[in-house]
Each structure stands twice: as structure tokens, then as C-alpha cells.
Amino acid sequence: MKRILITGGAGFIGSHLCEKLLNDGNEVICIDNYFTGSKKNIVHLLDNPYFELIRHDIAHPYFIEVDYIYNLACPASPVHYQYNPIKTIKTSVMGAINMLGLAKRIKAKILQASTSEVYGDPLLHPQPEHYWGNANPIGLRSCYDEGKRCAESLFMNYQKQNNVKIKIIRIFNTYGPKMHPNDGRVVSNFIVQALKGEPITIFGDGTQTRSFQYVDDLITAMMKTMETADDFVGPINIGNPNEFSMLQLAQEVIDLTGTKSKIVYKPLSADDPLQRCPDISLAKKILDWQPKIELREGLSKTIEYFEKELINV
Ligand code: NAD
Ligand code: UDP
């Protein structure tokens, strides 16, 4: 049994991680400021004596004794991270400094939830970890992209300078149950729109691509990465390499829900990456991992979740 701190544990990915680590017999402490997360995601865990929930903002220091830290706190949807860009940078950068300082002091191992956004609008396809990316340092997405890039730098330097045991994973677009209905990311938007019979909003012409990973595959890879030998720090890409255009995604959602919703086209926002797909050779080699759940199956599970959610609203 390990004592594990999860920042952002009330969010979409964090709540799945809390549940899995508890089920595996660990003690879990969840820190969240509920900016985009919700108590609803973890309320079923509150009766578990090995689960603790703390309202805290990681831009401020926090002291606690744990073995592992998973640093997930940060809004991930473009709509939400652009709402207060300065706060997004503070969460990524000051949050990383605070959590790395804690890890250093208590000699905990710490994993950073980085992102495929560090590759910006990539010119190399698919993206391997050694690619430095094509990010606009002053654009709309820069609060998130550069915040996460700076956090990676902080992680590497705490490891080199202070021997902190670190792991960096670069997560590619992930979806699944417990995404907030108003999250604003494409999978939840399309499903909620389809289920409500509202127009399905494609930004741009819909030819831009993403590679969608179901959340259970990510959780397995995150936990495997944490257990790798101390000399492996990453970064390591974690994603599903099957690539789809937004038009294909919309069509899958229309087929699976049987909706009568029609597609409408809206303007594409600045710096929206045209293509994104992970090279997961390193994850296959180091973690002996590859995603198991393909888009149709994952979408069906997610649609089932939202069907229940929307009835309960
Ligand atoms: P999410 O928005 O559902 O979860 C983020 C959680 O962090 C929320 O519960 C939010 O309230 C909390 N939070 C935000 N700022 C905080 C702060 N200052 N202090 C404490 N808590 C704070 O998003 P998610 O999809 O679950 O993403 C989790 C992590 O994974 C993020 O770091 C994100 O950058 C990373 N990531 C996610 C994806 C994806 O596709 N879901 C892709 C790449 C990276
Ligand atoms: N998108 C869309 N309609 C929506 C929401 C998003 O067409 O209602 C597009 C968005 O422009 C982007 C892709 O879907 O090209 C993925 O967007 P998301 O916000 O999910 O994540 P990103 O990978 O851009 O961070």
C-alpha cells in the first residue's frame, strides 16, 4: 500500500485515477480547487477510509507526507484554460514548483501530466518524443502550451539538480465518462449535442485530425509509467495512434447515437493544430503498453454515460 497524492483528482482523468488506485489497495489523497472538476466525480469514494479530499489551489504550497504524487491539476479544455490564461500559467508553473518542492523535501516520486500540446501545431507527423514542436509562444493556446513546456523543464531540472524522482507523460486527446457536459472538448461536445438533438458544431472544415484515447487505457499507462525504474524519466507519449478527422468523429457520433442532429460549421480558432497523432514506440518498448479500446467502443461507453447524466440534470 502506497500513500498517493493526486492533484486535480476531482477532474475527468484524476477521478478515474483516484478510483483505480484506491481499488488497488492504496491510500489516496485528492487535492482540487474545483475549477473544472467536481465533487460529483468522486463523491462515491468519500466513504472509503483510505480516501481524503482536500480543497486547495496548487499555485500555493501544500505540505503532506506521501510516496507518490500524480500532478494533474490544470484545466485541459481550450475553453477553460483560455478563460483565465494567467491563472492557467500559474497553475502549471507555480503548481509544478510547489509539487516538485514537496517531492524533493519528502523524497516522493512525482509524475507530471504533460500534453501533446507541447508539440504545438506539429510539422512532424506522427510526433515522436524527440520532436521539439512548433508552438506559438504568444498565441491563444500559449498559456497552456508554454505553461506545460515550462513545467517539463522544471521537472527535468529538479531531477538533474536535486535528484528528484520524476516521470513525464505527454497525454494525447483522451475522452470517456466523467467529462463535464460543458467541458467544451470535441468528444463531449459532439455527444451532448447529438443526445440533445442540437446542431453538431465543427470548427473549421473538419479536416483537422486528432487521435482519441479512451481514459482506461491512459490510466493503465500512467500507473505503469510511475512504476518504471528510477532512471527512466520520459517524456513518454501516451495516446491512441489511430487518427480521425473531426468530420469522421462527428459521423461516428451521429451513427452511434442515431441522432437527427445536423452538422454546422463554425470558425476555427487561432493556432488550432491541423494534425495530431502520437508515435507510441517508446511506450510500447518501455511500458509494454498499447491502447486496447478503439474509438467506436470507447464512444459507445461514453455515450452510455452521457445518456444517464443528461437524464439526471
Ligand atoms: P479536467 O479539467 O477535467 O481536470 C483538471 C482538474 O484540475 C480539475 O478537477 C480542476 O478543478 C483541477 N484544477 C485546476 N486548476 C487547479 C489548481 N490551481 N489547483 C488545484 N486543482 C486545480 O481535465 P483532465 O482532462 O482531467 O486533465 C487532467 C490533466 O491531464 C491536466 O493536467 C491536463 O493538462 C492533462 N491532459 C489531459 C488531456 C486530455 O485529453 N484529457 C490531454 C493532455 C493532457
Ligand atoms: N472542435 C470542433 N467542435 C467542437 C469542439 C472542438 O470541431 O465543438 C475541434 C477543435 O477545433 C479541434 C478539435 O476539435 O480542432 C479538438 O478540440 P479539443 O478542444 O477537443 O482539443 P484540442 O486537441 O484542440 O486541445
204 CA → ligand 2 middle, Å: 10
pLDDT (tens digit, 9 = 90+) per residue, 262-290? 999 999 999 999 999 999 999 999 999 99
Question: Considering every ligand atom, which ligand is closest to the CA of 115?
Answer: 1
185 CA → ligand 2 middle, Å: 6
- Greater confidence (91 vs 313) lies with 91
pLDDT (tens digit, 9 = 90+) per residue, 208-258? 999 999 999 999 999 999 999 999 999 999 999 999 999 999 999 999 999
- Report the nearest atom of ligand 1 relative to the CA of 35: 11
Given the residues 68, 144, 175, 214, the one annotated as active site = 144
- Residue 313 pLDDT > 70: no
pLDDT (tens digit, 9 = 90+) per residue, 168-181? 999 999 999 999 99
- Residue 18 pLDDT > 80: yes
281 CA → ligand 2 middle, Å: 26
32 CA → ligand 1 middle, Å: 10
Mean pLDDT value across residues 203-208: 96
Q: Are 152 and 144 in contact (CB under 8 A)?
A: no
- Residue 150 pLDDT > 70: yes
- Report the nearest atom of ligand 2 relative to the CA of 189: 8
- Look at ligand 2, atom 25, and give the residue with the nearest C-alpha: 78
Question: Considering every ligand atom, which ligand is closest to the CA of 194?
Answer: 2
- Look at ligand 2, atom 21, and give the residue with the nearest C-alpha: 185
Question: Considering every ligand atom, which ligand is closest to the CA of 184?
Answer: 2
Instruction: Provide the pLDDT confidence category of residue 311 given band limits of 50, 70 and 90.
Output: confident
68 is catalytic: no
